[in-house]
Amino acid sequence: ASKEMTEAAVLLFYR
Amino acid sequence: SLNLGTNFEHLEKLRNRSTYVARSCKEIIDRYNEHEDGLYFLTTANGMVYQTFCDMTTAGGGWTLVASVHENSIYGRCTVGDRWSSQQGNNANLPDGDGNWSNRNTFGAAEGATSDDFKNPGYYDIMAEDISVWHVPNNVPLEHWNLAAILRYHTETHFLRLYGGNLFQMFMQYPVRYNVGSPGNRGPAIPIVYDHGDKESTKNLYGPNPRGEFEPGFITFRAINNERAAMAICSGVKPVRAYNTEHYCIGGGGYFLTDQCGDFPSFDWDRLGREQGWS
């Protein structure tokens, strides 16, 4: 995957 | 200094937030009519108080940050920091890995959610209907998360009602466990509404080969690859043609056949000069 993707955290939200 | 006055008022305003009693950011809006993004205190059903970030703006707001999946070293293979797969090495005898997708363990802090893994009690305590996902570059401070994100989207189908109201419950039904099934046994794939980015930009975040086997515009849960390794979330995509999901789905159990174990399992497959096109 792109470097952009691997060097970003995945934040999960609920509503 | 002149700033001191404003700063004091600002801190007073933040301090007042600690008097709120609510189990989610949505409740903060509903009860206290607060609409400002930022950190708030929430309370679990058992009375445990914790602090997290509330997104009060996206699609009317009331989104509670419950977790972040952060890659500290793409070269690590289920090593320290791989809390969303396994920190105990690639091991078929530990099919669930650390088990954090379906337990009540918590770790990290909201302010550090882009610098390390994060999970708070809201993950299992809040009864929710929908999910929102932000991909934020590592180490970006909280006040810039929204603007800095490379991808933001949310669901609107209220699908969590069907799966117990949160990911904790959903992953009880669909365990993130090695050898639990074959690719056809994946969990639900839910259509998404984009808040930043689109189907095309989502595709381009992944490698050229993955683009040929997934469909963008969805979030998929509990994907299973060809070697029966389980992954928790395929962010922005649904596997449809082939199932090399280790290259584009995150989180996982404790064992991956080709030693691709990790929170971002094999996103870096080609990087070390192996086959071309998966990274």
Structure tokens that stand for B185 in this block: 């046994």
Is the ipTM of this structure higher than 0.90? yes
The reply to whether B66 touches chain A by the CB within 8 Å rule is: yes
Structure tokens that stand for B217 in this block: 């515009």
Question: Would the CB atoms of A14 and B233 count as touching at under 8 Å?
Answer: no
Structure tokens that stand for B189 in this block: 């794939």
Give me the residue from A9, A11, A14 closest to B166, CB to CB: A14
Rg (CA), chain B: 19
Task: Name residue, tokens 């994946």.
Answer: B186
Q: Residues B109-134: pLDDT tens digits? A: 999 999 999 999 999 999 999 999 99
Question: Would the CB atoms of A10 and B24 count as touching at under 8 Å?
Answer: no
Mean pLDDT for back-to-back runs of 10 residues, chain B (279 residues): 70 89 98 96 97 98 97 84 94 96 98 97 98 97 97 98 98 98 97 98 92 96 96 98 93 89 81 60
CB B133 within 8 A of CB B249: no
d(CA B124, CA B181): 25
Query: Which chain B residues touch A1 with a CB distance below 8 Å?
Result: 205-207, 210, 247-248, 264, 267-268, 279
Q: Residues B77-88: pLDDT tens digits? A: 899 999 999 999
